[in-house]
Structure 1
Amino acid sequence: MSIRLRDRFFALSTGQAPADEVARYLAEVDATDTEPAATLDGLAISWHPTARFKAVRFVDAERVHEGVRERFARPSELAPHLAAVFVDPRELSFRTFENIVPLDRWFADTPLELELSEPVELAKDAYASSLRLPDAGRARLEGLDTLGLYVPPLNAATRGGDRFIFHSALLADALTEAVRRAMPTPLLDGFSHVNPVFRCNRFEPDDANFHRHRDTPYYDAARGHVSRYTVLLYLTGGTGEPALDLTGGAAVAGIESFTCVVFDQRYEHEGAPFRDGRKVFLRTELIFAEDPEVTHDPEIGALFSKACYLTGESVFAPELARHADASYNRVAAAHWNGLARGPAREPYLHKQFRGVHFIANGYDFWFARSDGLSLAECAAITLLDYFNCKLGDESFRDLCESAVIEAEDDAWIPAFLKGRGGPEAPAVAPFDKSLLFPEPELTDGVCCPFHDGGQFDPTRLDEIVDLHERAQSFAKAHIMPAPILMLGEDVVLDPEKFVIRGNQIHVLGKESLTPVNFAACWNAGGVPGNYIDVAATVGAEHFLVPPILFSETGDCHHLRFDFFRNTWMVQHQRATVPVPKISSLAEIDLYAIDQDAHERWLEAVDPALVEGGSAEHPTPWWADRSPLVDELYDCLSDYEAEDEEEGEERGT
């Protein structure tokens, strides 16, 4: 049934099936439930749609866990490296809203010698050129429309058509060189490159317009990059009413295929579908080294943070989508004209999580002081909410009761929260993470199960203890620095990772791995890896975020969480880390072939956690060479190094 649901989805996605057939299929999907097949980018994924997994995404198939990879469809015959995965839209956060499809393989081995004709000035800081390229390259660009990757955009309510987003450094590099050769010299002052992230947009003649808007400038504080110009590359030609309208600039009624339009991102613009056929175009931007005179307005960052938050919340409350879209447009305009006055009323979310009531808008988070919450607990709930972290198999926002409240200001909040009653038990309790890592037993000198006289104790064998300590060090490196842990459905925090200084809450981050080393001898009874089992699976939430500002009134903790301040790049990583333990192998014959025993802990480690050390060192005789083994055994012990030096002196 799951294979049929998977394949039927793509058959119906062509849009040719009768409405009643689609309705029957959707009803069957809504009646289907399943466990996730794997995780990817922190999202649970399924190979077919279900009542939970309804949003399709396209990913590099090699990133899907090898054990289930073949179950995922390869819906694009022209791009067989792409697998289709289905995710739960309720798990999405601002880091995972958009599916950016990797398409460098699509352009590999394709001639991309791009040439732009001398640009024609449409208006001040707006130009049009014809793109010339080899026939094979032209066919590749036109073929983007045939890959079957389109999905409705997030802001479908304010724009027509479909789109998909893709990444291609090959195409961006070729276009960068063409821009350097063709565009006017004043435009190129500080020019760095074309953004390798492209949006492929498709409009049919009866689709709604792409409504008037400004493009939000791209900004990378870490690299000092900012976008200034939008690039539109039309893959099809036609006429519209108008096809492109730059407010205060030019209105273009007819556009030839492979026309490239470059315009200053100050321009508000709108585009209508072609009357005489399909309209397909790519959008990207020109990236420049940041102008040292550029200033940063924290109010713009705060509004953008609210817009991102409301986009995620619109999955639960669709009426918030229009508020999010209006906020994005205000942010885009503010980069050029300053922040305009907003609407008279704005939305707030009243949430309840395990007895904790709080109010949030994506930048401000209010908690009642009468609930007895510490600032660390308030900060932890704020992090969980903004990043929509997973607790067990459910997203944080899915576990909250939530209601939208529109108000003119926030003066009502303290009275609203006061007296609602606090949690009966801590919603996020403090936890001593060292309890996950008990000290190992002392070794007893036995070399292997074969020589133990029938009393083999794996917890006392030096080579098993050695591997156990290495596995603990590996797990500690990912768990100990995490401010928040998920133990099944329980959320716990490390208070030491939340440091209060002045009016700021600093969330401390991840540290580096420190390995350990030993050695031993084996004859029978498996290999050391067979005895290292999984004691527990811990979800470790790692955050690299700016300080959380806070203020306190008589009634509220008021936290302000600005992820887009001018000197910060925000990062969030969810890691599921297996905690090792030593177990016996009673179910395995001590004299059985070694390969019959599973290496449970080694097999449970997520490959995404492994950095893959490449230091020159001997791999243990019993272990296959792998990035994880490289990381566990990434240096010689003093004993081994001394023994090696003595051997060299003896010429052995």
Structure 2
Amino acid sequence: MSTELRDRFFALSTGQAPADEVARYRAEVDATDTEPATTLDGLAISWHPTARFKAVRFIDAERIDEGVRDQFARPSEPAPHLAAVFVDPRELSFRTFENIVPLDRWFADAPLELELSEPVELTKDAYAATLRLPDAGRVRLEGLDALNLYVPPLNAATRGGERFIFHSALLAEALTQAMSKSMPKPLLDGFSHVNPVFRCNRFEPGDSNFHRHRDTPYYDAARGHISRYTVLLYLTGGSGEPALDLTGGTAVEDIASFTCVVFDQRYEHEGAPFRDGRKVFLRTELIFSEDPEVTHDPEIGALFSKACYLTGESVFAPELTRHADAYYNQVAAAHWSGLTRAPAREPYVHKQFRGVHFVANGYDFWFTKSDKLSLAECAAITLLDYFNCKLGETAFRDLCASAVIEAEDDTWIPAFLNDKDKDKDKDSAGAPAVAPLDKSTLFPESELTDDVCCPFHNFGRFDPTRFDEIVDLNERAQSFAKAHIMPAPILMLGEDAVLDPEKFVIRGNQIHVLGKESLTPVNFAACWNSGGVPGNYIDVAATVGAAHFLVPPIVFSETNDCYHLQFDFFRNTWMVKHQQATVPVPKISSLAELDLDELEEGASEPWMDAVGPSLVNGGSGKRPTPWWADSSPLVDELYDYLSDYEYEHFDHDYEDDEDDEDEEEGKAGT
């Protein structure tokens, strides 16, 4: 049935099926509830649609766990490296709103010797030119439409048509060279490259227009890059009413295929579908070195944070889409002409999370003091909410009861929160929504080791918690887990979120969220005999989700009854990083349930098997590893903590060598 649901999805996606058949299919999907097949980029993914997993994404199939990879469809025959996955839209955050499809493989063997004809000036700071390229390259560009990678964007109701977003450094590099040779010299002052992220847009006759808007400029503070010009490459030709309208500039009614239009991003613009055929075009931008005269307005950053936050909230409240679009357009205009007056009424989202009421708009977060919340708890809840972190298998926003409230200002919020706090369920009082945790309790001290040889020679009285090599491996595993868990300001223990108060440092009116620390070297010992290997005895004590955040300081103010936290996660221009990882905590267990036959066949190593590859940095590979361990990045990292001094003085005879086999056997039996 799951395979049928998967295959019928793509069969019905052509848009040719009768409406009643589509309705029956949707009812079947809504009645299907299965567990995810695996996770990717923090998102749970399924290989077929269900009531929960409804948003389709296209990704490089090699990124999917090999054990389940074959279950995922490859719906684009011309691009077999792409697999279709289904995600829960409620889990999306600003990092995963868009599906950017990797398509360098599509262009890898295509001739991309691109040339632009002499550009024609359409109006001030707007040009049109014809793109010339080999026939095979032309066919490859035209074939983008046939890949059928279109997915509905979150703002589908306001943009018209269909689109997908892809990344191709090869196409961008070819366009960069063509632009550098053909565009007017004044336009190229400070030009760096063409953005390798492209949007492929498709409109059929009768589709709605892409509403009038400005393109939000790309900005990268770390590299000092900023976009100034939008690039439209029309893969099909036709006539529209008009096909492209640059407000205050010019309107273009007829456009030939492979026309390239470049215009200043100050222009507000709109485009209508072609009258008699499909309209397909690519959109990207020209990236420049940052103008030293660029200034920064914190209010622009605040608006952009609100727009991103409301985009995510629109999954729960579709009415927020229009507000998010309005903020995006306001931000785009403000980059060139300053902020305009905000709408008379603005949206706020009232939320309740495990008895805690708060109000948010994506930049401002309000909490009542009557909840007896600390600032660290307020900051933790805000981080969980903004990044839509997962607690167990559930996204944070899905754990909140929420309601949209429109108001002219925020003066109503303190009284509103206090009233909600008085009315809240008494059963929820006293149980903190985000409790503090002493993380050291996850890592108990080792037992004192005994001097026994091995399980085989001490059958019946062997204690794995006191055997030196097992204790040694457990301590290494603890150090590995600590490196990921101890620096994390927030941990997820199943469905519970806990915080480390020491990672929230308050200075003046700012809350600093501390990040990762360096690892501490660990020594190791040697000696073993039959009865399994140490890895068999190291089990998983707990699975902990560690949320690491690289965020700017959180500004706060307070009144007698309310905390008001303010964030600009993007700092007006740059985007912060955050990482959420699942970390298994080690413990020593018994091998009572394993027999000798299982050990000879290679018994499982629970903790080592549970460590995901994303947690492993890998060792240098130059230092010795124990005889019982197969070489792997995890083993290299666990046994790569010796200092250079310790390695120089280490007993190199421990390394197995054909010439020293007898000597090693003698040591093992001593």
Question: Could you say which residue in structure 2 is the equivalent of 1:564?
Answer: 570
Task: Indicate the residue corresponding to 1:306 in structure 2.
Answer: 306
How much has 1:305 moved relative to structure 2? 0.5
The match for 1:507 is 513
Shift in Å, 1:526: 1.9
Question: Any residues of structure 2 matched to 1:319-330 within 5 Å, and which?
Answer: 319-330=319-330
CA separation in 2, counterparts of 1:485 and 1:593?
35
Per mean C-alpha deviation after superposition, the further-off stretch among 268-277 and 62-71 is 62-71
Amino acid of the structure 1 residue aligned with 2:207: D
Q: Aligned AA for 2:440?
A: S
Cα deviations by residue, 1:312-371 (Å, 9 ceiling, x for unpaired): 111101111111111111111111111111211011111111111111111111111111
The question of 1:270 aligning with 2:270 is answered yes
Contact 2:10/2:75 (<8 A) preserved: yes
Q: Hey, what does 1:536 align to over in structure 2?
A: 542
- CA deviations on 1:602-639 (whole Å, 9 max, x unpaired) are 11111111123334223332222222222212255766
| 2:560 alignment partner in structure 1 | 554
The equivalent residue for 1:338 is 338
Q: Deviations over 1:249-273 (max 9, x none)?
A: 1111111111111111001111111
SS at 1:418's partner residue? Answer: helix
User: Per-residue CA shift, 1:280-336, capped at 9, x if unaligned?
Assistant: 111111111111110011001000100111111111011111111111111111111
Task: Count how many residue pairs are aligned between Structure 1 and Structure 2.
Answer: 650
> Could you report, residue by residue, the CA deviation over 1:224-268 in whole angstroms, capped at 9, with x for unpaired residues?
111000011111111111111111111111111111111110011
Matched to 2:317, the amino acid is A
CA distance in 1 between partners of 2:618 and 2:12 (Å) = 42
**Alignment of structure 1 residues 192-207 onto 2, 5 Å:** 192-207=192-207
Residue 445 of structure 1 and its aligned partner are, at CA, apart by 2.4
Is 1:357 the counterpart of 2:357? The answer is yes
Q: Secondary structure at the match of 2:491?
A: strand
Measure, in 2, the Cα distance between the counterparts of 1:580 and 1:482.
18
Give the deviation of 1:647 after TM superposition. Answer: 10
1:445-466 C-alpha deviation (Å, 9 max, x unpaired): 2332222243222222222222
In structure 2, the partner of 1:153 is 153
SS of residue in 2 equivalent to 1:535: strand
- In the alignment, which residue of structure 2 is the partner of 1:614? 620
* CA distances 1:502-549 after superposition (whole Å, capped 9, x unpaired): 000001011233342313233322222111111110011111111110
- For 1:10-66, what per-residue CA distance to the aligned partner results, in whole angstroms no more than 9, with x for missing partners? 111111111111100000000010111111111111111100010011111111112
2:458 is equivalent to residue 481 of structure 1 = no
User: Could you tell me how far apart the structure 1 residues matched to 2:595 and 2:371 are?
Assistant: 57
1:349–1:403 contact (8 Å) kept in structure 2: yes
| Equivalent AA in structure 2 for residue 519 of structure 1 | A
1:512–1:229: structure 2 CA closer, same or farther, 3 Å change rule?
A: same
Quote how far apart the aligned CAs of 1:176 are: 0.8
Q: Distance in 2 between matches of 1:348 and 1:596?
A: 57
Q: Does 1:589 align with 2:599?
A: no
The amino acid of 1:344's aligned partner reads A
Q: Pick which of 594-603 and 531-540 moved more.
A: 594-603
**1:434 matched to which residue of 2?**
440
Query: Cα gap change, 1:643/1:470 in structure 2, threshold over 3 Å: closer, same or farther?
Result: closer
Match of residue 217 from structure 2: 217
Segment of structure 1 superposing worse, 262-271 or 76-85:
76-85
Q: Distance in 1 between matches of 2:328 and 2:23?
A: 34
The match for 1:100 is 100
Over 3 Å counting, the alpha-carbon distance change for 1:454 and 1:299 in structure 2 is: same
TM-score, normalization by structure 1: 0.97
Superimposed CA distance per residue, residues 482-506 of structure 1 (whole angstroms, 9 cap, x where no aligned partner): 1111100111100000000000000
Matched-pair identity in %: 84
CA distance in 2, matches of 1:636, 1:547: 36
CA contact (8 A) 1:470 1:515 kept: no
- The aligned counterpart of 1:545 is 551
Paired residue for 2:664?
none
Task: Give the secondary-structure state (helix, strand or coil) at the position aligned to 1:105.
Answer: helix
3-state DSSP of counterpart to 1:339: coil
- Residues 412 and 620 (structure 1 numbering): CA distance in 2 closer, same or farther, change over 3 Å? same
Equivalent residue letter for 1:642 = H
Contact 1:308 1:324 in 2 (8 A): yes
- Rounded Cα–Cα distance in structure 2 between residues aligned with 1:61 and 1:158: 32
Counterpart for residue 630 of structure 2: 624
Distance 1:591 1:151, change over 3 A: closer
- Equivalent AA in structure 2 for residue 257 of structure 1: S
**How far apart are the structure 1 equivalents of 2:107 and 2:453?**
57
- In the alignment, is the contact (CA less than 8 A) between 1:530 and 1:599 conserved in 2? yes
Structure 2: where are the runs of 5+ without partners? Answer: 661-670
- Secondary structure, counterpart of 1:187 in structure 2: coil
- Structure 2 Cα separation of the partners of residues 35 and 501 of structure 1: 44
Which has the larger displacement, 191-200 or 611-620? 611-620
CA distance in 2, matches of 1:456, 1:383: 47
Indicate if the aligned counterparts of 1:539 and 1:577 stay in contact, CA closer than 8 A.
Answer: yes
1:174 CA displacement: 1.1
User: Are 1:420 and 2:420 matched, yes or no?
Assistant: yes
- Contact kept in structure 2, 1:158 and 1:211, CA below 8 Å: yes
**In the alignment, what sits opposite 1:109?**
109
SS in 1 for 2:516: coil
Q: Which runs of 5+ in 1 are unaligned?
A: none
CA shift, 1:556, in A, is 0.7
Residue 2 (structure 1) aligns with: 2
Note closer, same or farther for the CA distance 1:171–1:53 as it changes in structure 2 (3 Å cut): same
CA distance in 1, matches of 2:441, 2:641: 28
Q: Please, which moves more after superposition, 386-395 or 493-502?
A: 386-395
How far the C-alpha of 1:645 sits from its partner, in A, is 6.6
SS, match of residue 186 in structure 1: coil
| Whole-Å separation in 2 of the counterparts to 1:307 and 1:566 | 12
Query: Matched residues in 2 for 1:130 and 1:287: separation?
Result: 21
Give TM-score, length-normalised by structure 2. 0.94
Aligned equivalent of 2:170: 170
2:410 alignment partner AA = D
Q: Is the 8 A contact 1:221 1:569 kept in 2?
A: no
CA distance in 1, matches of 2:312, 2:618: 34
Contact 1:524 1:590 in 2 (8 A): no
**8 Å contact 1:527–1:594 — kept in the other structure?**
no
